[in-house]
Structure 1
Amino acid sequence: MHRVIATPFQGEFLLLHPGKSQGLKIPEEKFEQLRALGSSELCPEWLTGVAQRTWGLDIRDQKVGDVTLVRSPSSFNYGQASYELNLGCNYDCKHCYLGMKEFEGLPWTDRVDVLHALRDAGVVWLQLTGGEPMIDQLFTSTYSYAFSLGMMIEVLTNGSRLHNPIMLDLLAKRPPQKLTLSVYGATEETYDGLTQRRGSYKAFSQGLAAVHEAGLPLELSIIVTSDNAHEVDAMHALAEKYGLPSTDFANISPTIYGGSDVLRSQYPQHLTKRSVFTGCDAGNTFFHVDPHGNASTCKVARDPKISLVKEGVEGLRRLGGIADGLLLRQGGCTGCQLSGTCGTCMPLASLFRKAKAPLANYCQHTEKRKEVDQ
């Protein structure tokens, strides 16, 4: 099993180590040297030195084929992607943007096609998400196969399955680049109340403790809603207890179907002001794949979409044009004189309008726009 990945990445060449965030650039000639080496040849001295200095990894006297994976160049410019394995979840969180949680996903042969398309598109960093990805029946197979193709994997999870010995063994042998655990409260009452599932806090706590003890790379995503806002400081304290980085998320979005009910869970006092939207590389350097194998620019802008199962990687050549079209002003934003300083991208604004959400939910220029309209 490989311990070092050598890969092209958007015009550069990188060395990466699964389970570690730190990588380094190498000259093209070093990359080509690794490509030319036979699998039975020993790792070159410069590679063993770099591995030791950067990661404390000893690969001296190791065969190239035993410890390294050299990825082929791609004619595409994609480096990152997210893949929703399944929209199903074992929780029923009040704020969830997925709305209807359908337990649907691709069969194994189609998933292999999708993963090959991701690899051939040049994707190095792959985010596996859901729903809850770890309840997917093919999660372990999908994760292992993506790992074998030389992808650095992040898993977005509620942590409820992380204490499972099979899951821990998988992640220990094939380390993720990062596990991002959502936090929904600091007490059993609050946590279980938000997820609407008894026992969810206990499962989360067991999973967090297990992966921390295993030394796996962790980050906490603190979800702030009207149900748990009174425990924000306690959730921060939990991150500090484990010495983990954390990020707060308080701005609730409509569901992917344009549903507005979830917006009631938003807690206004904790909303963060969006920075000015100056453009996005969605669809050009990264993209999203839904449970049916359809590629779109991102998790918000899901249409138009391209079937990777039917078209393969070549279908992605249309995605850049789709992304450019989606960023044009649409609907009520057409002609707005203040849109140049807006903090909401056009696909997200369109989703808020579909949900018939109040203008203040997604436009920070509400008052100014009223003045301009007079």
Structure 2
Amino acid sequence: MPTRGSPLMHGLIASPFLDDFLILRPGSVSGIKLPHRHWLELQRATLCPDWLVGAVRRRWPDLDLTGRPLAGTVLIRPQSPFGYGRASYELNLGCNYDCEHCYLGLKKFEGLSWPDRERLLDIMVEAGVLWLQLTGGEPLIDKLFPDVYAAAFERGMMLSISSNGSRLANPAVLDLLTTHRPYRLTISVYGATAESYDGLTRRRGSFAKFSRGLAAAHEAGLPLNLNLIVTEHNAHELDAMTALAERYELPHHVFSNMSPTIYGGAESLPAQSREYLRKRKPFTGCSAGHTFFHVDPHGMASICKVGRDPQIPLMDEGVKGLARLGGIADGLLLRQGGCTGCGLQSTCGTCMPLVTLYRKAKAPLSAYCQH
């Protein structure tokens, strides 16, 4: 698949991550933690040091660094004063499906130009982002997805993709992902039969595309996870969806709690299956806004995909704008409104930004408050 420029073919990434220093391998879930002195040594080395050769051989026996130059073998990322380790980037809000439960609401095929996307990736690197999730909409239908993916890989990011899998059988997509392996590829599953799956996505033929994509990605050995999406429409096929995941021997998670749209709309809520509504674990806080952030298709940064307001225009403010996210997060995560007097807050499983969306949607308390 053609991309802008030639991606750097590094085999390993040496990177700060929050307070640690790590050696990571694209496509691998394991890694090596470095002492600070070894991190400093890598800044000066020209050949792979003996301690690195040994540590890598123990972690990945198929990888021998003996006598190899450090440059071109290990991509060494700079330290960042901003303290972010993870981010998600919504390439666009467009999708080739029209799922009844979708939290995106109105799906628009809009996004940054290539120069701005490239600048956005540089801002993320400067912020310290090591793990980057590429999402949408459906990211694989974005015309600039190959360029974004290759450029992020070249910058030493560990990439994960959230997809409906409909484009994974495309040879060019498979070539890109097998040559530059992602850390994780998460595919949503909307049913176990064409009738159920196509009915939920409201696109005829979508189950066939998903099935081909899943089979192709599995055969290519890509690191797959499945999200089994349970709605009123397909709940009767949960056992069959689980069997599908087990047949491929893939890790899978069941998602049954639907949320309002990102605009606070209620149109996604009727799809929720009350039978499979799950009690959430107590919400005890998260790293949103402090070590993690989300970026929408227009380069607007927020604490997460749910708490999108207020936002920071990264194309205008650059990486320094992220310094305001921590304060925004602290404000958004405080219990507000009718929740402030609740004596059961410590066992509540719904974060405040999500509560705010439910309130905007005028959802009944039973949809988000377990008390």
Contact 1:331 1:350 in 2 (8 A): no
Contact 1:113 1:308 in 2 (8 A): no
One-letter amino acid of the counterpart of residue 298, structure 1: C
| Residue in 1 that maps onto 2:6 | none
Cα distance, 1:59 vs structure 2: 2.6
Contact 2:99 2:201 in 1 (8 A): yes
1:64 aligned onto 2:78: no
Query: In 2, Cα distance between the equivalents of 1:220 and 1:351?
Result: 26
1:76 aligned onto 2:86: no
Cα distance, 1:36 vs structure 2: 1.4
Contact 1:192 1:199 in 2 (8 A): yes
| Residue in 2 that maps onto 1:276 | 282
Query: In 1, Cα distance between the equivalents of 2:170 and 2:267?
Result: 34
| Residue in 2 that maps onto 1:44 | 49
1:186-232 deviations in Å (ceiling 9; x for gaps)? 11111111000011111111111111111110100100001111110
The 5 Å alignment of 1:126-205 reads 126-205=132-211
- Residue-pair matches, total: 362
Query: In 2, Cα distance between the equivalents of 1:171 and 1:46?
Result: 30
1:66 aligned counterpart, secondary structure: coil
Contact 2:32 2:55 in 1 (8 A): no
Range moving further from structure 2, 295-304 or 23-32: 23-32
Contact 1:162 1:211 in 2 (8 A): yes
Q: Percent identity?
A: 62
Query: In 1, Cα distance between the equivalents of 2:202 and 2:67?
Result: 54
One-letter amino acid of the counterpart of residue 18, structure 1: P
| Residue in 1 that maps onto 2:321 | 315
Query: In 1, Cα distance between the equivalents of 2:276 and 2:321?
Result: 41
Contact 1:90 1:132 in 2 (8 A): yes
Q: Which runs of 4+ in 1 moved over 3 A?
A: none
One-letter amino acid of the counterpart of residue 203, structure 2: R
1:88 aligned onto 2:94: yes
Q: Could you tell me which of 11, 18, 35 is aligned with 1:3? A: 11
| Residue in 2 that maps onto 1:29 | 37
Query: In 2, Cα distance between the equivalents of 1:341 and 1:320?
Result: 24
Cα distance, 1:55 vs structure 2: 1.7
Query: In 1, Cα distance between the equivalents of 2:170 and 2:40?
Result: 41
| Residue in 1 that maps onto 2:58 | 53
TM-score (norm 1): 0.95
Query: In 1, Cα distance between the equivalents of 2:212 and 2:72?
Result: 35
Cα distance, 1:234 vs structure 2: 0.7
1:229 aligned onto 2:235: yes
Cα distance, 1:7 vs structure 2: 0.5
Q: Could you tell me which of 347, 352, 369 is aligned with 2:353? A: 347
Range moving further from structure 2, 44-53 or 341-350: 44-53
Contact 1:106 1:291 in 2 (8 A): yes
1:247-272 deviations in Å (ceiling 9; x for gaps)? 00000000001111110000011111
Query: In 2, Cα distance between the equivalents of 1:45 and 1:201?
Result: 51
Cα distance, 1:336 vs structure 2: 2.2
Cα distance, 1:276 vs structure 2: 1.0
1:68-108 deviations in Å (ceiling 9; x for gaps)? 10010000111111000000000000000000000000001
Range moving further from structure 2, 80-89 or 43-52: 43-52
Query: In 2, Cα distance between the equivalents of 1:244 and 1:171?
Result: 18
